[in-house]
Structure 1
Amino acid sequence: MELIVIAKPTLFKEECHLVNQLFEAGLQVFHLRKENAGEADYRKIVEGILPEYHPRIALHHFHTLATDYNITRIHHTESFRKRITPNTLTQKHIWSTSIHQLSDIDRITPYHYSFYGPVFNSLSKPGYMGIIPPGFHLNKHNSKTKLIALGGIGLNQIDQVKEMNFDGIALLGTIWNDPTQALSNFKKAKRHCLAHHQTL
């Protein structure tokens, strides 16, 4: 099972140092998403991450930065995806997106993987409630787009998400709600995921 970390929504001082530590500990994909950050902020974060890890960064905004920093992963929000045509997705990038309804899975076939959720009540966004019913088991039919569970996934929920048949999980609050425990919690999460590892 794949393990992805999404950036803390707000800027904070030790972020680049911690992200480098996560990569060193085995993080394969880091989604750089900042709700109110500008291009200069994005550029500063990328430059604070060691160059050998740049191909593991997925950009949510300011996609033109990819050509400056050897970044091959591009994320399209759900609203952005609905405004473009699929043939604009070139093969030189790894594309990701988000869906909130399983009925949309047939509309995202050009994408390599997609976030789906919130699976449980969000740990980082109070009031953002989970949409997965009890006993849920994912039936992906023949979709080639991998689905990554997102939302409210703590260390104690990872095994439960495995049973739901997702291809991976994305963590935000579990990693960043207490940055002093970010590396420790990542290592614990990684151990839970290793038995079902798949590469995106």
Structure 2
Amino acid sequence: MKLFVISPAHFFKGEAALINQLFEAGMPVLHLRKENPNPRQYAGLISAVDERYHHRIALHQFHELTTEFPAIKRLHYPERMRNKLTQPFKNKEFTRSTSIHNLNDLNGVQGFAYTFYGPVFDSLSKPGYQTRLAGDFKVPVQENTAQLIALGGVDGDKIESLKQMGFKGAAVLGALWNDKEQALANFDKIKTACSS
């Protein structure tokens, strides 16, 4: 099962160092998403991450920073950004992802490698953001090739359930960042569950 990590919504002291440690521990992809960032602060965090890991960063904002950081070849299009797209992608050098919040939108995400969907479980990072899925949920048959990645309330104990539901991957946020001192240990547990 594929594993994705989404950054916390707010910058924090020591963030780049922890991101580097997570990459060293095997983090495959970091989705860099911040609430109300400015471009220089966002770029500053990227600069502080070891350049050998830049190819594993997906930008949720400021896609134009790929000119400053040419190793970054992953772009994420949140739902509102995706809905404004008027023509298909021509540049094939980027891996593109998106997000959906309604399964009826699943077959409308053409041109994306994968899409996050959630909350699959009650969110760990957003109190009150609860799942609407039934306990016997199964991923529906898709008409396109965008892999469906589970988001929301994902931790190491829920990976097996996600596999049984038919998700192709898991995206984690609160399970790592809610307790930063345990982030590496929690990541290792999730990574092990995804690979078993």
TM range (shorter): over 0.9
SS of the residue corresponding to residue 125 of structure 2 reads coil
**Equivalent-residue separation in structure 2 for 1:102 and 1:96 (angstroms):** 16
Distance across 2 between alignment mates of 1:131 and 1:25: 33
> Deviations along 1:45-102, whole A, 9 cap, x unmatched?
1001111100110000011111211210000010110011241352111000000111
Q: Which runs of 5+ in 1 are unaligned?
A: 196-200
Is contact 2:33-2:59 (8 Å) kept? yes
Q: Do the aligned partners of 2:107 and 2:143 also contact (CA within 8 Å) in 1?
A: no
Question: In the alignment, residue 14 of structure 2 is paired with which amino acid?
Answer: E
Match of 2:125 in 1: 124
| TM alignment of 1:102-181, pairs within 5 A | 102-181=103-182
1:2-13 superposed matches below 5 A: 2-13=2-13
Aligned AA (1:4): F
Shift of 1:109: 1.8
Q: Percent identity?
A: 45
The count of aligned residue pairs is: 195
Question: Using the alignment, how far apart are the partners of 1:82 and 1:37 within structure 2?
Answer: 22
1:149-186 Cα distance to aligned partner (Å, 9 max, x none): 00011221111111111000000000000000111100
Q: Which moved more, 1:135-144 or 1:46-55?
A: 135-144
Q: In the alignment, which residue of structure 2 is the partner of 1:88?
A: 89
In 1: Cα distance, 2:44 partner to 2:182 partner = 23
Contact persistence 1:89–1:95 (CA under 8 A): no
Report if the CA contact (8 A) 1:30-1:56 is conserved.
Answer: yes
Per the alignment, do residues 67 and 14 of structure 1 end up closer, same or farther by CA in structure 2, a change over 3 Å counting?
Answer: same
Using a 3 Å threshold, how does the CA distance of structure 1 residues 120 and 86 change in structure 2: closer, same or farther? farther
Distance 1:86 1:147, change over 3 A: farther
Q: Note if 1:16 corresponds to 2:16.
A: yes
Change (3 A) 1:89 1:99: farther
Shift of the 131–89 alpha-carbon distance from structure 1 to 2, 3 Å rule, reads farther
Inter-CA distance 191–86: structure 2 relative to 1 (3 Å threshold): farther
SS class of match (2:88): helix
Q: In the alignment, is the contact (CA less than 8 A) between 1:89 and 1:110 conserved in 2? A: no
Structure 2, unaligned runs of 5 or more:
none
Matched letter for residue 39 of structure 2: E
Give distance in 1, aligned partners of 2:23 and 2:118.
25
The one-letter code matched in structure 1 to 2:157 is: N
Structure 1 runs (4+) deviating above 3 angstroms are none
8 A contact 2:106–2:142 mirrored in 1: no
Map Cα deviations across residues 79-128 of structure 1 (whole Å, 9 max, x no partner): 11001124135211100000011111111121010000110111000111
Structure 1 pair 86–188 and aligned structure 2 pair: CA distance change class (3 A): farther
Question: In the TM superposition, what is the alpha-carbon distance from 1:5 to its structure 2 partner?
Answer: 0.5
